[in-house]
Each structure stands twice: as structure tokens, then as C-alpha cells.
Amino acid sequence: MVILMSEQMENYMEDLRKWLAETADLEPEEMADFFSNRLSGYEQHMAVWEQSYQRFAGLLPKGCRNVLDLGCGTGLELDRIWQKYPDLCVTGVDLCPEMLKELEKKHPEKQLTTVCTDYFQYDLGCNRWDAVISFESLHHFLPDAKGELYQKIHASLKEGGVFLLGDYTACCEEEETLLRSEYQKRRKRFGIPENQFIHFDIPLTLEHELALLRKAGFRAEKVLDAPNEATLITAEKVK
């Protein structure tokens, strides 16, 4: 079994290196533009995570009232959460205005506030939220930026509040290092300003993701790390 797993990882890494070589001349798209250009087929494309959305919704603690969703997009995770907790008050933050409009159209009856901005710059507040959530968004950013954001999230939660993270994680340190190196090369090659977000995956390993969360003060635990599903993590603000 270990041999099989090793062979699968080697094959995966070989395919990844080939893809990076094939796309080396393609300039990464600006983040909001990437999603705007794919809006019509976005929800169909993301349907692959349906099981993960269902599991993610089940992790939200009972008694939550105010929830902040970072990188909410069209609200696929919120579709499932509102099925379970229909009276939840949600603030959704996203860079893409077209996606936020789709979210508002889907849920006109819900207690929903949308904010079109960079969530690294958004004022999360202090002791404000029962839960902060993010699904398939944070793997686009470097560890230092994520670490600072996790500290802000920790401060923004009420005592006993929880940060729920559903995301893509690197299979190994080799993948993490390779993608980050390629990300930096492409930014330099195409002269992309430091303050411009681009759509390029730079996930951390699960171990490194958990370490960042714990450094920010969370009691963080993996909930699920299964093939063909997003990695799900609960990070609790302990008293």
C-alpha cells in the first residue's frame, strides 16, 4: 500500500511538473477577472466539491448567529449552511462583484450583507463573529499574509468562536515548494505588482497550515483529508 501511495504521488508530481512547463508562457490572470470570466460555468465546475460542502456545513456549531465568509463567491458553501441554519446572519466578502451579485440573487430573503473588497484589508472587527468560514480561497496566498490574516480572524471571533477552513492542501513539501517557486518566477517574469492578486495555486501542506493556525492562537484540528474532497479544518478560539 505504501508503495502504491508513493507511485501515485510520483505520478502526480510528474504530471504537475509537465503542466507547469506547458503553461510557463501564460501570464496569470488577475484574481477578480479570473472569476468574472468564468462566472457562467463556475457553479457547475465547483460541483465536484458537493460532498465537501455538505460536510463543511455540518461543522458549524449550533447556536451560531453571526458568520463571516471570506472569499464567499456565489455562496456554494452558504447554500448548504442555510439549509441547516436558515436564520443565520452572514457577511460575505469577495473581490469579484459579479459573484456577489449572483449570491444576492440566489438568497434575496436571507440576512445577508455582501462586501466587495480584499479580505486582507477588510476590518474584521474584534469579538464580533460566532464563526468565520472560508472555502477553497486561501490556497492562493503566501504564508506570511495568511498568518497575519489568521491572527485577525482569531481576534475577530467571540470567545469559543470557530474558524472553519475548507481548502486545497499540498500533497507534500515538494509540491508546496515547487508551486511557490513557480508563483514567484511568474510574478517576476510578467512584472506583476506585489499588491496585485493573481489566480495561481500555492497551497500549504496540511502540517504547515495547522502550524500557522496554531501560531495565531487557535486550537486547530484536521476534520477531513480524504481523496477527492477538500481538506476540512476546525480552528477554535479557546478561552
Which whole-number Å values give the CA distances from 56 to 26, 116, 149, in the listed order? 34, 23, 21
Query: If you ran DSSP here, which 8-state letter would residue 198 be given?
Result: B
Q: Which architecture characterizes domain 29-237 according to CATH?
A: 3-Layer(aba) Sandwich (3.40)
Question: What is the predicted pLDDT for the residue at 81?
Answer: 96
Dihedral (CA of 153, 154, 159, 164) sign: positive
Averaged pLDDT score across all residues of the chain: 93
- Over range 8-14, report the average pLDDT: 90
The predicted-structure confidence for 102-142, as pLDDT tens digits, reads as follows 999 999 999 999 999 999 999 999 999 999 999 999 999 99
Distance CA 209, CA 119 (A): 18
Task: Indicate the pTM of the whole model.
Answer: 0.93
Question: What is the predicted pLDDT for the residue at 9?
Answer: 87
DSSP H or E stretch at residue 203: none
The three cell numbers locating residue 96: 469579484
Polymer length in residues for the chain = 239
Distance CA 223, CA 233 (A): 5
pLDDT at residue 1 above 50? no
> Could you tell me how far CA 100 lies from the centroid of its own chain?
16
Distance CA 126, CA 80 (A): 27
Question: What is the predicted pLDDT for the residue at 176?
Answer: 97
Nearest residue to 129 via CA among 150, 160, 106, 156: 156
The predicted-structure confidence for 18-66, as pLDDT tens digits, reads as follows 999 999 999 999 999 999 888 888 888 888 888 999 999 999 998 899 9
pLDDT at residue 3 above 60? no
CB 84 within 8 A of CB 58: yes
The predicted-structure confidence for 62-88, as pLDDT tens digits, reads as follows 889 999 999 999 999 999 999 999 999
The three cell numbers locating residue 159: 470567545
- Locate the domains of the chain by residue range: 29-237
SS3 98: helix
Q: Are strands 157-167 and 231-237 parallel, antiparallel or unpaired?
A: antiparallel
For the chain, list the strands marked E by DSSP.
66-70, 89-94, 111-116, 129-135, 157-167, 218-224, 231-237
The three cell numbers locating residue 154: 482569531
